[in-house]
A and B are shown apart, each in its own frame.
Chain A
């Protein structure tokens, strides 16, 4: 169990640029989640995958955000035309589970995005 890995750890970019983050989940985990966390808040759910299928998307996920998990392993989260309000910590988590079952989610250390 090598844990959930996220890259990069920090990203600084100018407003209007596109950014892409990567998440490598724990290898045997079929579910993968993306969250956004701003200062003083808990993580807010963005989207989740079961294997390669994106099963749910939050209303927080505007059209500028897109996530993929092409082979059911690693995932990418892309933000196009970044805005100041996108500055946050983006957390990835993974878990096992099927259907309605709930299993603990294991989190990576996050990617901190700063928009200049």
Chain B
């Protein structure tokens, strides 16, 4: 069965520090992978997507993610976090027919 695991419920980083959010997926075929960000009371905004090809993908707001098939992972990274990055981050896998499965999310707090 398809599933997404985000092991870190909550992460706190200092502004300017680097960030890595973990995502592991379970899916029997080639996955389509996405990272979304959600601010309180808002919908989800797409940060980046992986469909095929280069395993390092660039997204908006300076984020990038690396697909590692051998580890079934799609971790999100940012070299220098800004206070405005504080939000909830969701990893998702898209399956045949475009049904998405989301992880439970990682809440990011940024301290000055």
Residue positions of A touching B, CB distance < 8 A: 4, 6, 31, 33, 40-45, 48, 55-56, 91, 93, 95, 97, 99-110, 112
User: B residues 26-50 with Cβ under 8 Å of A?
Assistant: 32, 34, 36, 41-46, 49
Stretch of B65-73, B76-84, B89-97 contacting A (4+ beta carbons < 8 Å): B89-97
Question: How far, in Å, is B11 (CB) from chain A's closest CB?
Answer: 15
Q: Give the A-B pair count, Cβ closer than 8 A.
A: 63
Residue positions of B touching A, CB distance < 8 A: 4, 32, 34, 36, 41-46, 49, 51, 90, 92, 94-105
Given contacts A41-B104, A102-B51, A104-B49, contact A109 B41 (CB under 8 A): yes
B32 surroundings in chain A (CB, below 8 A):
102
Cβ of A102 and Cβ of B43 under 8 Å apart? no
A6 surroundings in chain B (CB, below 8 A):
43
Cβ of A40 and Cβ of B100 under 8 Å apart? no
A104 and B47 alpha carbons, distance in the complex (Å): 10
A91 and B102 alpha carbons, distance in the complex (Å): 13
Cβ of B98 and Cβ of A95 under 8 Å apart? yes
Give the nearest-CB partner of A44 in chain B: B102
A43 and B103 alpha carbons, distance in the complex (Å): 8
A112 and B43 alpha carbons, distance in the complex (Å): 11
